[in-house]
């Protein structure tokens, strides 16, 4: 706890022993088991998830990401066989569990954008959020039809189309997640995590008194810094650079390779954050700048995927021109959000560099 | 000439006599007659305008705006009957002469945007500009069909549709302008301007030795400053505020009343600029900050009208969904340009306030 405020690159800070990693992994494994129990109790099979089951699913994903991320960053300190067996399984689990929530959030984002673009005064923004966000819900479409009275025909039809497509995808993701949670493959993962909760398979090196976690954490930070350096931050920091939409009508089916380096930085930022947690505990003060930068990258990813969903919906056969027009406006709006998120990241990152 | 660097609000500067206004109006009237002669010589009746005839048309519009604007700002110094007879005629002429060029520029802007959005590498930007910009041209559509090979079907069809609609509008505007220039109504205006070139009908007050143009010029500046103060500059100065597109899918046929105050500031900025010219001559140093602010507002107006043209084209019956989608993306892109222009204006205006 005395080390909470230290920086891994601070030369005056003392070494952090391998036991800190073991403690972190044990805590995350315990959190995983707690979330899993809660998830089973609150009825994971029900299609209309309650608030508790949504929380449980979120906690489950959260712990899986942290275990998986720490195993990546501190790989040399963990038993290789165990590590190599578990990591791909955690990646599978993380991917499977995240899809349902991703579709729900994407739909919510797109419907809110459609309402904003229509100039319709939606009762409350949280009203939509509350109606959409339960990740377990494949429930009634939102916003309810009466709320579409304020939309143009095109916007309303575009909303209905996106709702149909993304609700279907979400329902499928829900079934897939349920199947996964009932599979023997999952039970094998859960058993391994249960073992991790009591006994972390550290290597002999890791348990040596001279071991220091800091160089591996510093390497994770360096990978992040290098990736950020490679980003087009000068362009991103110049408002209204119009870069994000530049290939918005490209015949290329994957017109936004420009997004990939940003997605990569998002993952590296997360690994850096988890490494800090392993070293200094989760109870310490939150690094607001890292949080802000991370939120900008989350927004970047969400907007990028929402824009792709709008473009994809526009390729549905036999839609009305007004629907297609609304989807075009929506696509461009979300690409604009992508650009705005890059600007926000650049701003938060600049502050970070200046103040550290 | 000694007064060139002076500010109309500078209390240490000497008064500017009514003769300065008379000199300015005479010079602009002479310029009008020169441009008119050039316009007739270079063949105004030809549908494919040469560079000279384009220049002549521009010079004609330019002098009409300046005469009309000065008559507005310095109204109390000019004979009321003469003034009230001529001003609406100049407004009619200015409007009639500007439409053809406006349609040409709008088409150019939209086609360039479509190419940018398609990720197509267009030979040179000036290539398009050169092909489109002769305001007198109702010539071959641009860019030529071969250049559309890089566009998606939707973008290409959207481009062709806009080209058809705006070329038709331009051709009509060209005919209207030609008819106007041959009308007895125009000849009456030209006669009055010819008189103005030698004798400016100043009031008795204006010719008094104590007359000072500066209070009227200062009032014009104040009208500008007041209008700027009423603009939502705090929002405009916050990048990616997403205001410009907020009613982009509104069922309202005129969804952008938010643009009107900016258009108004554009006109007031122009009047301020002409008042400065009348006071200190056109040969003096250019106020770069006024120029930059004016360019931002021109861009705002152009993008606003281009966005409306894209939205209007999307309402064409029986267009393909891909065409409508491309027009939606294009509309949103131009609304982003509107927002970017507001940001640019805010930035240039801030500089102005700080440094004066």
Averaged pLDDT score across all residues of chain B: 85
B325 contacts A322? CB cut-off 8 A: no
Closest alpha carbon within chain B to A342: B240
More confident call, B125 vs B120: B120
Residues of chain A in contact with residue B336, where contact means CB-CB under 8 angstroms, are 240, 242, 245, 332, 336
DSSP reduced 3-state for A161: helix
Between A255 and B249, residue with greater pLDDT: B249
Distances (CA, A) of B21 to B13, B24, B27, B78, B282: 17, 5, 10, 10, 12
Report the pLDDT averaged over residues B70-79: 95
Which DSSP string corresponds to B20-88?
HHHHHHHHHHHHHHHHHHHHHHT-TT-SS--HHHHHHHHHHHHHHHHHHHHHHHTGGGB-HHHHHHHHH
Q: Please list every residue in chain B whose beta carbon sits closer than 8 Å to the beta carbon of residue A319.
A: 321
CA–CA–CA angle B87, B89, B90 (5° rounding) = 65
Is residue B202 classed as helix, strand or coil in its secondary structure? Answer: strand
Which alpha helices (DSSP H) does B183-287 contain, by range?
Answer: 184-196, 204-207, 214-229, 233-236, 260-280
Percent of the residues in chain A that have a pLDDT greater than 70, as a whole number: 82
Among candidate residues B63, B68, B65, the one with its CA nearest the CA of residue B39: B63
Which residue in chain A is spatially nearest to B333 when comparing CA positions? A332
Nearest-CA distance B248 → chain A (Å)? 5
Cβ <8 Å between B116 and A255: no
Please choose, from the candidates A246, A218, A182, A166, the residue with its C-alpha nearest in 3D space to the C-alpha of residue A13: A218
- To test the contact with chain A by mutation, choose from B314, B324, B345 the residue with the greatest count of A C-beta atoms within 10 A, namely B324
Helix, strand or coil for residue B297? helix
Nearest CA in chain A to B316: A321
The confidence band for B143, taking pLDDT boundaries of 50, 70 and 90, is very low
How far apart CA B314 and CA B255 sit, in angstroms, is 15
Q: What is the pLDDT of residue A129?
A: 38
How far apart CA B163 and CA B160 sit, in angstroms, is 5
pLDDT recorded at residue B83:
92
Gap between the Cα atoms of A32 and A26, Å rounded: 10
Q: Let me know if B17 is exposed, middle or buried by CB neighbors in 10 A (0-12, 13-18, 19+).
A: middle
Shortest Cα–Cα distance, A273 to chain B (Å): 28
Distance separating alpha carbons of residues B211 and B119, to the nearest angstrom:
60
**Backbone φ/ψ region at B196: left (φ over 0), alpha (ψ -120 to 50), beta:** alpha
Residue B178 CA to residue B205 CA, distance in Å, equals 40
CA-to-CA separations, A259 to A26, A108, A232, A265, B10, in angstroms, rounded: 35, 21, 11, 10, 53
Nearest to A325 among B116, B255, B327 (CB): B327
Work out how many CB contacts closer than 8 A connect A with B.
148
Domain coordinates in residue numbering, chain B: 18-204, 212-355
Question: Looking at residue A147, what is its pLDDT?
Answer: 41
Q: Indicate the residue of A246, A319, A329 with minimum beta-carbon distance to B328.
A: A329
The string of pLDDT tens digits covering residues A278-313 is 998 877 777 888 999 999 999 999 999 999 999 999
Q: For residues B201-215, give the mean pLDDT.
A: 89
Q: What is the DSSP letter of B239?
A: T
Chain A CA closest to residue B340: A240
Mean pLDDT across A70-79:
95
In chain A, what residues touch B329 (CB-CB under 8 Å)?
245, 248-249, 328-329, 331-332
Residue A54 — φ and ψ, nearest 5°? -65, -45
Collect all residues with Cβ–Cβ distance below 8 Å to B123 and sequence separation of at least 6.
Answer: B147
Give A122-131 pLDDT, tens digit per residue.
Answer: 443 334 433 3
How far is residue A159's CA from residue A327's CA, in Å, rounded to a whole number? 9
B68, B210, B215, B276 from B79: Cα distances, Å: 14, 18, 18, 21
Interface test with B, best of A332, A342, A345, A346 (most B CBs within 10 A): A332
Provide the β-strand partners of residue B202: B78
For the ranges A247-251, B162-166, B202-206, the maximum mean pLDDT occurs at B162-166
* pLDDT higher than threshold 70 for residue A320: yes
Nearest to B152 among A249, A323, A343 (CB): A249
Residue among B242, B314, B331 minimizing CB distance to A321: B314
Please confirm whether the linkage preceding B143 is cis (ω < 30° from 0): yes
Averaged pLDDT, B223-227: 98
Predicted pLDDT at A283 = 74
Q: Which residues contact B356 (CB under 8 A, 6 or more apart)?
A: B7
Structure tokens at A297: 């990258």
């Amino acid at each position: 706890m005395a080390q909470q405020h230290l920086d891994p690159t601070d030369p005056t800070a003392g070494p952090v022993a391998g036991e800190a990693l073991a403690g972190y992994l044990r805590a995350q494994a315990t959190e995983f088991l707690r979330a899993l129990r809660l998830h089973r109790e609150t009825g994971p099979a029900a299609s209309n998830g309650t608030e508790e089951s949504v929380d449980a699913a979120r906690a489950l994903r959260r712990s899986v990401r942290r275990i998986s991320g720490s195993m990546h960053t501190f790989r040399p300190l963990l038993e290789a066989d165990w590590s190599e067996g578990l990591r791909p399984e955690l990646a599978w689990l993380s991917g499977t569990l995240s899809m349902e929530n991703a579709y729900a959030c994407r739909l919510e984002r797109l419907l809110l954008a459609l309402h904003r673009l229509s100039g319709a005064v939606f009762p409350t923004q949280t009203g939509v959020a509350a109606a959409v966000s339960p990740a377990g819900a494949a429930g009634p479409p939102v916003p309810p039809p009466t709320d579409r009275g304020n939309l143009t025909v095109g916007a309303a039809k575009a909303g209905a189309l996106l709702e149909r497509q993304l609700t279907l995808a979400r329902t499928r993701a829900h079934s897939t997640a349920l199947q996964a949670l009932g599979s023997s493959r999952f039970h094998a993962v859960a058993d391994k995590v249960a073992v991790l909760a009591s006994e972390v398979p550290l290597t002999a090196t890791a348990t040596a008194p001279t071991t220091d976690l800091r160089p591996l954490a510093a390497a994770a930070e360096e990978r992040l810094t290098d990736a950020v350096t490679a980003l087009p931050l000068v362009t991103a920091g110049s408002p209204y650079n119009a870069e994000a939409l530049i290939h918005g009508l490209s015949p290329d089916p994957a017109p936004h390779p420009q997004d990939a380096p940003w997605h990569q930085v998002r993952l590296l930022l997360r690994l850096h954050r988890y490494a800090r947690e392993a070293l200094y505990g989760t109870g310490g003060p939150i690094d607001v700048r890292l949080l802000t930068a991370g939120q900008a990258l989350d927004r970047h990813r969400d907007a990028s995927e929402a824009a792709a969903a709008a473009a994809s919906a526009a390729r549905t056969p036999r839609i009305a021109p007004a629907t297609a027009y609304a989807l075009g406006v929506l696509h461009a709006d979300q690409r604009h959000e992508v650009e705005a998120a890059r600007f926000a990241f650049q701003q938060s990152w600049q502050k970070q560099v200046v103040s550290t």
